[in-house]
Amino acid sequence: MYYIGVDLGGTNIAAGLVDENGKIFSKGSVPTGRGREYQEIIRDMAALILELIKGQGLEVTDFKSIGVGSPGVPDCKEGKIVYASNIKLRDVSLREELGKYIALPVYVNNDANIAAYAESVAGAAKGYKTSVTVTIGTGIGSGIIIDGKIFSGFNNAAAELGHMVLKMDGEPCNCGRKGCWESYASATACIRQTREAAEKNPDSLINSLVGGDLDKIDAKTAFDAAKQGDKTAIAVVDTYIRYIGEGLANIVNSFQPEIIVIGGGVCKEGEFLLEPLRKYLRENTFAPAHNIKIAGLKAAEMGNDAGIVGAAMLRE
Amino acid sequence: MYYIGVDLGGTNIAAGLVDENGKIFSKGSVPTGRGREYQEIIRDMAALILELIKGQGLEVTDFKSIGVGSPGVPDCKEGKIVYASNIKLRDVSLREELGKYIALPVYVNNDANIAAYAESVAGAAKGYKTSVTVTIGTGIGSGIIIDGKIFSGFNNAAAELGHMVLKMDGEPCNCGRKGCWESYASATACIRQTREAAEKNPDSLINSLVGGDLDKIDAKTAFDAAKQGDKTAIAVVDTYIRYIGEGLANIVNSFQPEIIVIGGGVCKEGEFLLEPLRKYLRENTFAPAHNIKIAGLKAAEMGNDAGIVGAAMLRE
């Protein structure tokens, strides 16, 4: 038996056929065309799925279910998207609309929850009952897995850990609050912090690495310069890691997950990032003071496939 | 069938006999004598329980289990106290030691978790599957109930929500971090904030209410003066409520519990406290922006009995 996973994004709809071990054996994508009515978007989603199935010489009856991940807030029980950021979907039943084209059970969840679920089922958190996956990108996405299941609170909107306030009255955040973790520890924030440091220290290696064009700074620039011993960059990276660590310490004190998985571009820094974070957690969380074991920290393993695999693995 | 609940505190051991509806029908207490060896403490605990049972003309066999709540970190599975703040208990099996005197199953958990469990089973969170109870006192204690069960993470140390950092690099906290929620929103913090305002504004009603002796300020003083229209006190209360609200907003964005219960002395302020907090949550959490229902907010109902009732209700 096989499973279908769909990653509905603001730009593309990506779909994949997945086996029982969470391995994708066929995938494809079509543009979302996000200004369109939901009926058109879902019609294209169905066509993509049917094409993938046909391409493998399979039938719909060879599949057990379709899982769909989208940004925003789902109604998991009803198979609906209540609200999707960036896409024109408000209170839309994917179960009903997709069911018009394909006779399979449809499960829906939030994309960050699904990324965490994928890590739990087939990635870095496999074998751990309780995990938190934090994806550091433009913003901070996060998902919480408790006893192997997605935890999303009573209204399916939980696990917005990027929107914990860490510095009350601090940097304004897109969510309307001030000082959210996301506004200090996202890749966007890292770029801002790197740029500010480069402006103040024109002799820094940061400036040379981008040929003096500060618009070319990305979330990697400070890490690259720090690894070459540039003092300004080292200070930027130390502070940025501390921002990540402070949010992770809050997560540990609140949830005590067995493992924390870090995803997003920054996780490519590997131990250069993870080792100081582990140290930060040992020194700044409640449990180690009493010789109690705390969460391990690993880099995400599922990469871009997380959305498809996690969605395919969704169950009632 | 009846149940036994024990609230093991730094000063007293309180025990109670509880019926199936969570009602205490007999209770008593003895001093903890916290400097003593664990064998002596547990011997006295057993004697207290046996005396209560005898006093009601009952037998040990009329009871189903003993639950014990203590500060610190338990090993729920093994019935142990791994670490108890304030009491000389390190890696002590209550199940084994108490079992020497009374042949009943023994369950152990943390006192803040048990207070939350008591509210969930018989108090303000009754009927809600997912709840968070926050007890505002000298510090901030908290417990998380998910699907009717205590959630305490993989190491039984979760739900230390008072030790989320809210103001990075802010006020030093007992836990070693800086800027924890507890250091801004506990009763201790409220007293500090009231005192600072009184010192800066000697004409404030705060000063007259304590007859000029600022050592007499308690967590109620600013609320009392604010209700009489004192501007300094109103500013203190507004800021203090905002500190509580900011932490609660973090809890909502992280857990999306169906209900949040506020316990501790400050909950006696009732709607004067709860109404502005509800407003703060509506304006500062992620869900309402998308017309999604958020947590209700209620005052705790179990009072001093929470520790005994919650412990008595503990199950495997």
pLDDT, average across residues A77-85: 90
Asked if residue A38 has pLDDT above 80, the reply is yes
- Which pLDDT value is given to residue A291? 79
All residues of chain A having their beta carbon less than 8 Å from the beta carbon of residue B88 are none
Q: CA-nearest residue of chain B to A178? A: B284
Q: What percent of chain A has pLDDT over 90?
A: 91
- My answer on whether A213 and A144 are in the same domain is yes
Chain A partners within 8 Å of B243 (Cβ) = 168
| Residues in chain B within 8 Å Cβ distance of A127 | none
* One domain, residues A7 and A113: yes
Number of domains in chain B: 2
Binned at pLDDT 50, 70 and 90, residue B292 comes out as confident
Write the pLDDT tens digit of every residue in B154-205: 999 999 999 999 999 999 998 899 999 999 999 999 999 999 999 999 999 9
**Are A164 and B163 inside 8 Å of each other by CB?**
no
Domain residues for the domain of A192 are 126-300
Residue numbers in B near A246 (CB within 8 A): 165, 168
Strands, sheet with A149-151, edge to edge from the N-terminal-most edge strand = A149-151, A140-146, A131-136, A259-263, A296-299
Beginning with the edge strand found earlier in the chain, give each strand of the sheet holding A90-93 in spatial order. Answer: A73-75, A80-83, A90-93
> Of B103, B77, B143, B188, which is closest to residue B180 (Cα–Cα)?
B188
Contacts of A156 in chain B (CB under 8 A): 256
pLDDT tier, A29 (very low <50, low <70, confident <90, very high otherwise): very high
Closest residue, chain B, to A242 (C-alpha): B168
Element (H, E) at A313: none
Is residue B140 predicted with pLDDT exceeding 90?
yes
A282 and A197 within one domain: yes
Q: How far is A289 from chain B (nearest CA, A)?
A: 9
Once rounded to an integer, what is the mean pLDDT over residues A270-285? 95
Q: Residue A292's pLDDT is what?
A: 87
Q: Which of A88, A168, A239, A260 to mutate to test the interface with B (most CBs of B within 10 A)?
A: A168
User: Are both A171 and A271 inside the same structural domain?
Assistant: yes
CA nearest neighbour of A232 among A189, A186, A196:
A196
Query: pLDDT tens digit string along B87-128?
Result: 878 899 999 999 999 999 999 999 999 999 999 999 999 999
Q: Which residues of A touch B166 (CB under 8 A)?
A: 165-166, 168
Q: Which of A158, A258, A295 faces B256 most closely, judged by CB atoms?
A: A158
**B199 domain-assigned:** yes
Domain shared by A83 and A199, yes or no: no
Contact yes or no for A175 and B246 at CB 8 A: no
Is the CB of B254 less than 8 angstroms away from the CB of A160? yes
Q: Which residues of B touch A253 (CB under 8 A)?
A: 158, 160-161, 163-164
Residues A142 and A247 in one domain: yes
- Overall average pLDDT of the B197-221 stretch: 97
Rounded to an integer, the average pLDDT of A258-275 is 95
A119/A302 Cα distance (integer angstroms): 6
Pick from A83, A153, A287: CB nearest B256: A153
Taking contacts as CB-CB distances below 8 angstroms, the residues of chain B near A286 are 157, 160, 163, 175
Mutate to test the interface with B, among A241, A254, A281, A290 (most CBs of B within 10 A): A254
Cα–Cα distances (Å) from A234 to A147, A201, A238, A272, in that order, read 39, 13, 6, 12
Report CB contact under 8 Å: B254, A161: yes
In a domain, B117, yes or no: no
Statement to judge: residues B33 and B96 lie in one domain: yes
For the cut 90, the answer to whether the pLDDT of residue A148 exceeds it is yes
Contact A164 B130 (CB under 8 A): no
CB contact under 8 A, A289 and B175: yes
Q: Alpha helix (H) ranges present in chain B?
A: 38-55, 94-99, 111-122, 182-185, 187-200, 205-209, 221-227, 231-255, 271-284, 306-312
| Nearest CA-CA distance, residue A157 and chain B, Å | 7
Query: How close, in Å, is residue A138 to chain B by CA atoms?
Result: 18
Residue A288 has pLDDT above 80, yes or no: no
Question: In whole angstroms, what separates CA A183 from the centre of its chain?
Answer: 16
**How many residues appear in chain B?**
316
pLDDT at B114: 97
Give ipTM to 2 decimals.
Answer: 0.94
Residue A289 has pLDDT above 80, yes or no: no
- What Cα–Cα distance (Å) separates residue A183 from each residue in A56, A135, A247? 44, 14, 11
Checking if the pLDDT of B290 tops 90, the result is: no
Which residue in B157, B255, B283 is closest to A292 by CB distance? B157
Residue A113 has pLDDT above 90, yes or no: yes
In a domain, B119, yes or no: no
Encoded amino acid at A183, one letter: S
* CATH assignment of the domain containing A196: 3.30.420.40
- B212 with B277, same domain: the answer is yes
Residue B149 resides in a domain: yes
**DSSP labels, A64-88:** EEEEEEESSEEETTTTEEEE-TTSS
Could you say which of B146, B154, B165 has the minimum Cβ distance to residue A166?
Answer: B165
Average pLDDT value over all residues in chain A: 95
Do A139 and A280 share a domain, yes or no? yes
> What pLDDT is stored for residue B127 in this prediction?
97
* A153/B292 touch (CB, cutoff 8 Å), yes or no: no
Q: Are residues A273 and A134 in the same domain?
A: yes
Tell whether B101 and B142 lie within a shared domain. no
A18 & A60 share domain: yes
Which residues in chain A touch residue B157, judged by CB atoms under 8 angstroms apart? 256, 286-287, 290, 292
Instruction: Test A255 with B155 for CB contact under 8 angstroms.
Output: no
Which residues on chain B are in Cβ contact (under 8 Å) with A152?
Answer: 256
Q: What is the count of residue pairs from A and B with beta carbons less than 8 Å apart?
A: 132
Q: What local confidence, expressed as pLDDT, does residue A219 receive?
A: 96
A73–B154 C-beta distance less than 8 A: no
Q: Are B239 and B193 in contact (CB under 8 A)?
A: yes
